[in-house]
Amino acid sequence: MVVALAAPTSISFAQKETATGVDVDKDIALLRRNLRSEKKKLIAANLPLTETEATKFWPIYDQYAAEMGKNNDALDSLIRDYAANQKTLTDAQADDMLKRWGDWQVSLAQTRQKYIPIVRKVLPGKKAALFFQIDRRLYTLMDVQIASEIPLVIQ
Amino acid sequence: MVVALAAPSSISFAQTQTATGVEVEKDLALVRRNLRAEKKKILAANVPLTETEATKFWPVYDQYAADMSKHYDEFYAVIKDYAANQKTLTDAQAISMVKRWSDIQVELAQTRQKWVPAIEKVIPGKKAALFFQIDRRLYALMDLQVASEVPLVIQ
């Protein structure tokens, strides 16, 4: 049943140096486009659904993915701001970014929490659980990838 | 400055089969003990602190780590329950575990958010940002390790 749950292959931040930091705008856009389509393919390949279940599930999945995507817009904007100002970052800017990052994480977790009963309405409990398990595994891979690519704060 | 931000090397789930699932208790205990000690060492090696900062920072860090640990205790309890009952899991049990897991994710994010101002009280903004950046990277690696080791829900 499980086809491929390795990390999507096409993730990378090809960072262009600027006077104050690095420009990652295009790379983030590309990363997100690739991840979104690969994620849906991996979930489809690993979650066995009947035709009736699939008809109900995928529209809900698209709503969920769009909502998670909105949360991730906030992260994109944060990474862009950070990368662009990395060399000249002040303590106050770092503080502001930490707060935005903390808010983003809470909001992302709350969105996932909100969708559990919604997905459960259209799938049996074990299939809903498998979906969230695979989805979480893919988000975790993305988290690691992003966390590893972002340059550390210069002291 | 950055010494070692690879995944701690000693993580593994050597799962013992039972009639209803797998027994992971001893493995989880070992994983957690190793990770906790390694995490603190990696942070100490990568966050440059003056003596005065270190004196104030480490007690606050220990409180933060203890707070996060409480959530991980619950998280590992969910994994243990799931692993032990994996072969006989019902739809109701599966969705209940997903809900518990999701609640923990929200609590973890809220706890991390709560500790940002506390850490910023004892070290400057840029050092606090570096701390949370490395801390988050290590948690992401641990999450990925755990997510990859937990068997998928059998349908």
Rg (CA), chain B: 17
Burial of B100 (C-beta count, 10 Å sphere; 0-12/13-18/19+)? middle
Q: What's the pLDDT score for residue A76?
A: 87
Pairwise CA distance, residues A49 & B78, whole Å: 25
Nearest CA of chain B to the CA of A55: how many Å? 19
Q: What's the pLDDT score for residue A150?
A: 85
The answer, for A137 touching chain B at a CB cutoff of 8 Å, is: yes
- Collapse the DSSP code of A22 into the 3-class scheme (helix H, G, I; strand E, B; otherwise coil) and give the result: strand
List for chain B the helix, strand, coil content (%; round to 5).
Answer: 75, 5, 20
Per the domain annotation, does B10 fall within a domain? no
Chain A residues inside the 8 Å CB shell of B148: 137
Pairwise CA distance, residues A117 & B120, whole Å: 37
Does A8 score more than 80 pLDDT? no
Q: Which of A78-82, A131-135, B91-95 has the lowest mean pLDDT?
A: A78-82
Q: What's the pLDDT score for residue A65?
A: 94
The answer, for B144 touching chain A at a CB cutoff of 8 Å, is: yes
Straight-line distance from the first to the last Cα atom of chain B, in angstroms, rounded to the nearest whole number: 48
Interface mutation vs chain A, best among B106, B107, B116, B142, most A CBs within 10 Å = B106
Helices B91-122 and A91-122 pack at an angle, to 10 degrees, of 170
Taking a C-beta distance cutoff of 8 angstroms, is the pair B79, B146 a contact? yes
Taking a C-beta distance cutoff of 8 angstroms, is the pair B42, B134 a contact? yes
Pairwise CA distance, residues B147 & A133, whole Å: 8
Per the domain annotation, does B1 fall within a domain? no
Q: How many domains does chain B have?
A: 1
Per the domain annotation, does B11 fall within a domain? no
Say if the Cβ atoms of A89 and B136 lie within 8 Å.
no
The answer, for B153 touching chain A at a CB cutoff of 8 Å, is: yes
Structural domain range at position B58: 20-149
Per the domain annotation, does B3 fall within a domain? no
Say if the Cβ atoms of B147 and A116 lie within 8 Å.
no
Highest mean pLDDT among A143-147, B37-41, B118-122: B118-122
The answer, for B3 touching chain A at a CB cutoff of 8 Å, is: no
Does B115 score more than 60 pLDDT? yes
The answer, for A120 touching chain B at a CB cutoff of 8 Å, is: yes
Of A129, A130, A147, the CB nearest to B137: A147
Q: Who's near A10: CB < 8 A, 6+ residues apart?
A: A30, A34, A38
Per the domain annotation, does B7 fall within a domain? no
Q: What's the pLDDT score for residue B111?
A: 97
Q: What's the pLDDT score for residue B105?
A: 96
Per the domain annotation, does B80 fall within a domain? yes
Phi, psi (degrees; rounded to nearest 5) at B89: -60, 135
Instruction: Give the containing element (helix H, strand E) for B19.
Output: none
Question: Which pLDDT tens digit goes with each residue over A79-124?
Answer: 889 988 888 999 999 999 999 999 999 999 999 999 999 999 999 9
The residue whose two tokens read 């809220």 is: B110
Per the domain annotation, does B14 fall within a domain? no
Per the domain annotation, does B39 fall within a domain? yes
Higher per-residue confidence, B113 vs B35 = B113
β-bridge mates for residue B23, sequence order: B16
Question: Which CATH number characterizes residue B57's domain?
Answer: 1.20.120
